[in-house]
Amino acid sequence: QVQVVESGGGLVQAGGSLRLSCTASGLTVDAYIMGWFRQASGKEREGVGCIRSTGTITEYADSVKSRFTISRDNAKNTLYLQMDDLKPDDTAMYYCAATATGWGLVEHMYNYWGQGTQVTVSS
């Protein structure tokens, strides 16, 4: 059974940093395209960034480019989202997702989803 579990969310002041983790079981993170999505209160879920199953090719939403970085530790079967220079607009529930096919931040392509971790950025 596939399971992905996010952790690392919390409350941070604007300009601060957080690192989210996504630990997977039932799949290996280097064999899947892994993505991060977020959903702010009252808004639709949106893509944040994704990483290819092999190598380090990534794609990011314009709103987080140069501030967020996705990486992967294959030995720990864990995906990370390093978030720097956080802004109040980054406040949202953050989700980790996985897909075996496709590429990009298209939500419906992703088959496996975690329950999310809350990130709150105060001004």
In this prediction, residue 70 carries a pLDDT of 97
State the pLDDT at residue 43: 97
Task: Give residue 106's pLDDT band: very low, low, confident or very high (50, 70, 90).
Answer: very high
- Average pLDDT score over the chain: 96
List the one residue out of 57, 48, 62 whose CA is nearest residue 97: 48
Residue type, 86: L
Residue 103 gets which letter from DSSP?
Answer: -
Average pLDDT over residues 103-111: 93
Strand pairing class (3-7; 18-25): antiparallel
36: number of CA atoms within 13 Å, CB side?
33
